[in-house]
Structure 1
């Protein structure tokens, strides 16, 4: 809608999406895999982010090697309009996007009886691999504020780097992929939600929190023009 008459432009539709934070510890210090979005990107250009992207219909049709963990299923089950089937698809979307953007697979050897007609999954399953969502832990949710060129209802998962296989490589989405300590990201261009996740990640990865299906998941969104933080 044109805004020359004072009307607000129509907001973009909100699409489901998933993000994966791969983490490791070196010398007792936490590190996460991040990359810089290309400057020509319509969404968050030149920002450092975790791998991730929108949910694809093919993500519903993949049969993984293992189910999503009971902890993550319980947490996602408290989220509105997120039943077990969608929860599994979101985890698979995070795995697929991570492979597409970084070259790393969370998978086990094997062959699917059928692979959906999806370029992303065809490449992922090539040479005999089946996605393995068991290591994924659901930790956060955020909806992109209105007024952005693209909007997502993003679910954030975390998984240990040891569960991923392959060689890290840049992609059409992410460049400068590297392992970064959360406390050393002050000079990077980061989205607000990424800053929030980095600030709280260590606490979410404490054993007591990781093993607790009742652990409340933070949910960031906008309402009446103001940022809101709720819990699910």
Structure 2
């Protein structure tokens, strides 16, 4: 899928990291730092903006599953994996020689690289080349594509992905952009937001609610692979009662297709 061209849109990507627990499907979420200028204090999926270095020519040859991706999709997948690594320490990458996924012991050895990435001291391509790694972009399944409505001062062009979290990777918040984290059942996240225990912005809420239809990670990923991605750019309009709402396409397949403007949080 190609993104609508606009100088005002900030490309960003996020991953819904999944695991199966004894109680069912769980997704990893982080609480954004209150000083972050977007979704501050909210429960969100790990992710962030595309870094110009994610598109560097030295990166494409070090990414599995990149062969058929256009430049936009390629940059989104690289950013999604990099941001998940920076923000929660989960790295979807393989050893270049053995083809094996990075394990917990290797993650520990790479911790100084995570810090350098977070500080912007190196780009993802530098880390991959110097450490003999390849990003596992083939493990990402496109799940959703949202564009911030034009009423907002800062607008993002965001791709959402599903990915199974490696079993031995300990997902933890970074203490900088995110200040807390949790593995949570999707519908528990929705319920806690409804009860006022958590803050979840509209795009996150409907995506986690949609994820709650699935009993396990394999079914969620299989369903997403077969689904058509409908780009969602919420439109400001009025409902039958004349109240202003954000409306999204029914074809996108969410449980709801509008949000009262009074409930919209940024």
- The two structures have a TM-score, normalised by structure 1, of 0.75
Is residue 227 from structure 1 mapped to residue 213 from structure 2 by the alignment?
no
**Which moves more between the two structures, 95-104 or 164-173?**
164-173
CA distance in 1, matches of 2:184, 2:127: 25
Per-residue deviation at 1:84?
1.9
Which structure shows the bigger proportion of residues in helix conformation?
2
Q: In the superposition, relative to structure 1, how do residues 137 and 34 fare at CA in structure 2: closer, same or farther (>3 Å)?
A: same
Partner of 2:165: 161
Is residue 109 from structure 1 mapped to residue 98 from structure 2 by the alignment?
no
CA distance in 2, matches of 1:175, 1:31: 20
CA distance in 2, matches of 1:190, 1:208: 21
Which has the bigger relative contact order, CA under 8 A and spacing at least 6?
1
Q: In the superposition, relative to structure 1, how do residues 13 and 109 fare at CA in structure 2: closer, same or farther (>3 Å)?
A: same
Is 1:104–1:164's contact at 8 Å kept on the other side of the alignment?
A: no
CA distance in 2, matches of 1:84, 1:164: 32
**Which moves more between the two structures, 18-27 or 212-221?**
212-221
- The two structures have a TM-score, normalised by structure 2, of 0.66
Q: Give SS of 1:39's match.
A: coil
Residue from 92, 104, 121 that aligns with 2:124: 121
Is residue 59 from structure 1 mapped to residue 63 from structure 2 by the alignment?
no
Partner of 1:139: 143
Kindly tell me the number of residue pairs found equivalent between the two proteins. 204
Is 1:36–1:176's contact at 8 Å kept on the other side of the alignment?
A: yes
Per-residue deviation at 1:50?
0.4
Is residue 89 from structure 1 mapped to residue 75 from structure 2 by the alignment?
yes
CA RMSD of aligned residues (A): 3.1
Deviations 1:42-97 (A, max 9, x none): 1111001001111222222313341159xxx7xxxxxxxxx622212211110011
Deviations 1:132-168 (A, max 9, x none): 1111000111112234342201110010012784653
Partner of 1:216: 228
CA distance in 2, matches of 1:49, 1:97: 13
Is residue 195 from structure 1 mapped to residue 193 from structure 2 by the alignment?
no
Unaligned runs of 5+ in 2: 1-6, 98-119, 238-245, 254-266
